Amino acid sequence: MPEHSDIQALERAILGDAKEESEQILADAQAKAEDVRRQAEEQAKAKREVILQRAQQEAETLRSHAVATAQLEAQTLKLKRRERLLERVFASARQQLASAPGWPDYEQIARHLVREAAKRLGAEEVLVRVDERTRGVLSDEVLAELGKSLPPVGGTEEGGVRLHIGEPLVRGTGIVLETPDGHRRYDNTLGTRLASMQDGLRAPVYHILMGETV
């Protein structure tokens, strides 16, 4: 029976080899599976980090935009409040201009307005239009005196400008000078002067309102 025992031994050897090979194949498969799992985890982790970085960058960008928008809105609100405050100040100043003829030095102011406007107009004969209260300090005698004190016009050696009272002003306080033909006109009312000075006065007026040194 030795042949039978040899066969059994051979079968056992073959089975043993097959088992070892199967176990090795299984071990290799498990190792590969572990490598694949680990690589998948590493890739997933890397993707998560990239996603997190992008999310953080987007969040920071949104935060920066929100801060910039808030700052811009705050600045806009501040400017609007400043403009409203300045407009109230200038509106009050315009209202007070109507009382200017009652100022103690208004006659000197009116004389200055006439001289300045006449020089700007540059005409030998001028109509002086004034409001009713300014007319009270610019009599015909005062206008004649002012006219003689003005420098010559048109290269003549004779000094002076002929000033005549024109139609009274319906609106405004101060004077408006016109040539007799109406072709040239110079508005030197107090309201017009304030309007021309307003842009230059905005900053210093605001500093004064805020208690700052100009």
pLDDT tens digits in sequence order for the chain, 214 residues long: 556 676 777 667 777 776 777 677 777 777 777 777 888 778 878 778 888 788 788 778 878 877 787 787 777 777 778 788 778 888 888 888 889 999 999 999 999 999 999 999 999 999 999 999 999 999 999 999 999 999 877 655 556 899 999 999 999 999 999 999 989 999 999 999 998 888 888 888 877 878 766 5
In a domain, 131, yes or no: yes
Distance CA 63, CA 121 (A): 60
Asked if residue 17 and residue 84 are part of one domain, the reply reads yes
**Strand pairing partners for 125?**
162
Residue 146 to residues 2, 119, 149, 186, Cα–Cα distance (Å):
156, 12, 5, 17
What was the pLDDT predicted at 44?
A: 76
Assess if residue 132 is contained within a domain.
yes
In-domain check, residue 211 = no
The answer on 66 and 36 residing in a single domain is: yes
Distance, in Å, from the CA atom of 47 to the CA atom of 207, rounded to the nearest integer, reads 57
End-to-end CA distance of the chain: 127
- Tell me, yes or no, whether 87 lies in a domain: yes
Structure tokens at 199: 């842009």
| Domain ranges, residue 59 | 1-97
CA distance 91 to 161: 36
Q: At what angle do helices 2-97 and 190-209 cross, to 10 degrees?
A: 130
Q: In terms of domains, do 86 and 122 share one?
A: no
Residue 207 lies in a domain: no
pLDDT for the residue 159: 63
**Cα separation values, 1 from 15, 59, 99, 130, Å:** 21, 85, 145, 151
Specify the number of domains making up the chain. Answer: 2
Q: Which CATH number characterizes residue 118's domain?
A: 3.30.2320.30
Retrieve residue 110's tokens.
């009116």
Determine, yes or no, domain membership for 213. no
- Residue 180 sits in the same domain as residue 107: yes
Q: Which pLDDT score, from 0 to 100, does residue 25 have?
A: 75
- Look at the chain and count its residues: 214
User: What count of Cα atoms within 13 Å lies in the side-chain half-sphere of residue 175?
Assistant: 28
Question: Are residues 81 and 45 part of one domain?
Answer: yes
Q: Enter the pTM of the model.
A: 0.59
Which residue among 97, 129, 156 closes a domain? 97
